[in-house]
Amino acid sequence: MNLQQAKEYAKVNVKNRPDTLGRLAGSLAVVTGSAQGFGLGIAKALSSEGASVVIADLPMQEEAAQAVVDELGGRSFFCSVDVSNEESVKAMVCTAVERLGGLDIMISNAGVLKAGSLADMDAKTFEFVNKVNYTGYFLCAKYASEIMKAQFEADRLKWSDIIQINSKSGLTGSKNNFAYAGGKFGGIGLTQSFALELAPYQIKVNAVCPGNYYEGPLWADPEKGLFVQYLQAGKVPGAKTIDDVRNHYLSLSPIRRGCTPEDVAKAIFYCVEQGYETGQAIPVTGGQVMLG
């Protein structure tokens, strides 16, 4: 199915949603990067509230993703995607529509992080981080919105949502982490701009900005996780061990714990259910970042 066929198919099926229960009853969703980490928790939360969820991730994650699909059951399925590749994202959206009949919620969650100072970071690494985090969000919004606009054309009562899983690093600068933070700051600019452009089609666009998920692979991976990266990059002055880095970050939040996928899911439910909110960057940081 090509993009034009997907748009026509979505128009035909716009009022034909699965008969399920929950806050997202009958919704059709894609979550990128959902074989692990925040994406996995988000996919489970959406499914538990009645959504059919596409588990979209890199081909190398297929085994883990299929385990998620088996757990969720229903109409969920795995779709291979590289969010930094335009044709791959387009194919993911078309496959989602072909299998589910439409697309109501796009969660742009897939991301990467490479810490390093200006002196140490090379251009290739900088471009890689931004191709996934910044360009990947643009591509997900571009092709998801094509389907959502077609659905609106067929049903003027139809609302849809595009939600970027951003970061607290999109709200405040991050020492020795500028490649990631810069892309996330840019993501909020995209969110506001997309919101203005897509509002006439009843497509809401918001960003959720989580704090640190210390139990997830992004932080806890023993070889590539941020605890290891930040220790090696000297991001925490005086830190000599991973525990030193962890304790430093726990001390930054007055609630003194990390963010969880359940915390993020609550913000996503707010974005979808609130019909009078678009273009926002919603912090879920345990008070580590407070907006004035």
Rounded average pLDDT over 90-95? 98
C-alpha to C-alpha distance for 261 and 268, rounded to whole angstroms: 10
- Burial class from Cβ neighbours inside 10 Å (0-12, 13-18, 19+) for residue 115 reads buried
Q: Judge whether 112 and 128 are in contact, CB under 8 Å.
A: yes
Confidence of residue 73 (pLDDT cuts 50, 70, 90): confident
Mean pLDDT across the chain: 95
Catalytic pick among 180, 213, 214, 230 = 180
Does residue 9 carry a catalytic annotation? Answer: no
Predicted pLDDT at 216: 84
The mean pLDDT of 101-125, rounded to a whole number, is 95
Does pLDDT of 171 surpass 90?
A: yes
**Higher local confidence (pLDDT), 17 or 161:** 161
| Global confidence as pTM | 0.94
Q: What is the pLDDT of residues 201-253, one digit of tens each?
A: 999 999 999 999 998 888 888 988 889 988 998 889 999 999 999 999 999 99
Distances (CA, A) of 142 to 114, 132, 190, 205, 226: 26, 15, 11, 12, 30
Query: Which of the four pLDDT bands, split at 50, 70 and 90, describes residue 98?
Result: very high
Residue 182 pLDDT: 97
Kindly give, in sequence order, each residue whose CB lies less than 8 Å from that of residue 87, ignoring residues fewer than 6 positions away: none
Contact 167, 209 (CB under 8 A): yes
181-189: which pairs have CB atoms within 8 A and are 24 or more residues apart?
182/130, 183/129, 183/130, 183/133, 183/134, 184/133, 184/209, 186/130, 186/134, 187/133, 187/134, 187/137, 188/281
Which domains does the chain possess?
A: 3-211+259-284 (3.40.50.720), 213-252 (no CATH)
